[in-house]
Amino acid sequence: MESQKVDLFMMMNAKHFESYHLSAIREKLLQLDDERWPAVQSLQLKDPTTSLIISIVGGGALGIDRFYIGDTGMGIGKLLTCGGLGIWTIIDWFLIMGATREKNMEQFQNALY
């Protein structure tokens, strides 16, 4: 039964994490006791594709993409500099999906402890 819960979680949420994190996540979930499962299953993970769309459609220069993933400091920096005069905005088009997945991993690790 445990393996089925882990497989279901992995199938539903693999896109929210970096591929190199998936084996570690699977191992931690297999070792997880039943008391911690509700906390893990109720995680509000951010979708990397949504972050990219927000960044491209216009929220990148205002830092909305960074605010969306919970990276408030970077969001304020982008807001005050108009996305680094556009340069930071363009760079984030390539980095925002990875940043979203890293924030999801942090959130996952915090739920375990």
Structure tokens at 85: 């005069």
What lies within 8 Å, CB to CB, of 2 at 6+ separation is 30
Element (H, E) at 2: helix 2-13
Q: What residues contact residue 4 under an 8 Å CB cut-off, 6+ apart?
A: none
Confidence (pLDDT) at 51: 95
Residue 25 structural domain: 2-112
User: What is the pTM (predicted TM-score) of this model?
Assistant: 0.87
CA-based angle 33:39:45, to the nearest 5?
Answer: 125
Residue 59: DSSP 8-state: I
Instruction: Quote the CA–CA distance of 100 and 85 in Å, as a whole number.
Output: 22
Name the domain count of the chain. Answer: 1
Give the pLDDT confidence of 21-59 residue by residue, as tens digits. 999 999 999 998 888 888 888 899 999 999 999 999 977
